[in-house]
A = this chain, B = another copy of it.
Amino acid sequence: MKVCTKLSTALFPCPVVMVSCIGLSGKPNIITLAWVGTVCSNPPMVGIGINPKRYSFRLIEETGEFVVNIPTKSIVKEVDFCGTVSGREVDKFTETRLTPYPSIKVRPPLIQECPINMECVLRNRILLGSHQLFIGEVILVHADENILDERGDINNTKIVPIAYNRREYWNLGERIGVHGFSKKPYDSSS
């Protein structure tokens, strides 16, 4: 039976990303976010929702640039740390020993330990309520060479990503289907 439950964004599982940014002061910061999603395929764009009280908010406003870094299970503790501590008080690169790695087209550094890094330029922003949505165009994608297959595509079996599942971090289990595997006309018995 259906019941009405607490009003919330009950969307899950979400991605969890580490966004690196840098203000005019030149000191880079990291903010972990789950309010993130792909919003457009061409040009590729991602949206990230950030509370204006967060330290990274001003940094992104100042430069109009950020990097979306995709973490893996091996750094889940660093992921959590960068989402629960403020860059006003802590130098997160120093504390976590994560490595800033030079970007090519934007000022914020990549996080070297994340196997995928997307350099983004801010294209739009909308204040929605508690959060402002920043929409960034992905202008360059970096990947660790050892997660690519022979065609240069990311190989899903060579990376252990993290899903954010209602305040919990989960790894993935197994593949249960591939886009397009259902056939028309639909036969529910097969």
Q: Which residues in A have some Cβ–Cβ distance to B below 8 Å?
A: 1-15, 17, 34-47, 49, 51, 68, 70, 73, 76-81, 83-85, 90, 95-97, 101, 104, 110, 112, 116-118, 123-124, 126, 128-131, 133, 135, 138-145, 148, 152-154, 156, 161-163, 165-182, 184-186, 188
Separation of A128 and B122 alpha carbons in the complex (Å): 12
Separation of A184 and B77 alpha carbons in the complex (Å): 11
Separation of A4 and B166 alpha carbons in the complex (Å): 33
B179→A162 contact, CB < 8 A: no
A135→B128 contact, CB < 8 A: yes
Interfacial chain B residues near A124, Cβ < 8 Å: 126, 128
Nearest CB in chain B: distance from A190 CB, A: 8
Nearest CB in chain B: distance from A176 CB, A: 5
Separation of A118 and B166 alpha carbons in the complex (Å): 15
B177→A169 contact, CB < 8 A: yes
A5→B168 contact, CB < 8 A: no
Q: A77-B181, A165-B156, A184-B90 are in contact. Are A45 and B128 (CB under 8 A)?
A: yes
Separation of A40 and B52 alpha carbons in the complex (Å): 11
Interfacial chain B residues near A117, Cβ < 8 Å: 2
Which of B2, B161, B179 contacts A83 (CB under 8 A)? B179
A46→B80 contact, CB < 8 A: no
Nearest CB in chain B: distance from A188 CB, A: 6
For residue A147, which residue of chain B has the nearest CB?
B5
**What would 5 more interface pairs be, CB under 8 Å, given A77-B182, A81-B186, A126-B126?**
A13-B163, A77-B181, A123-B128, A169-B179, A170-B176
Which of B38, B47, B156, B175 contacts A39 (CB under 8 A)? B47
Q: A39-B49, A101-B2, A188-B97 are in contact. Are A162 and B142 (CB under 8 A)?
A: no
For residue A1, which residue of chain B has the nearest CB?
B145
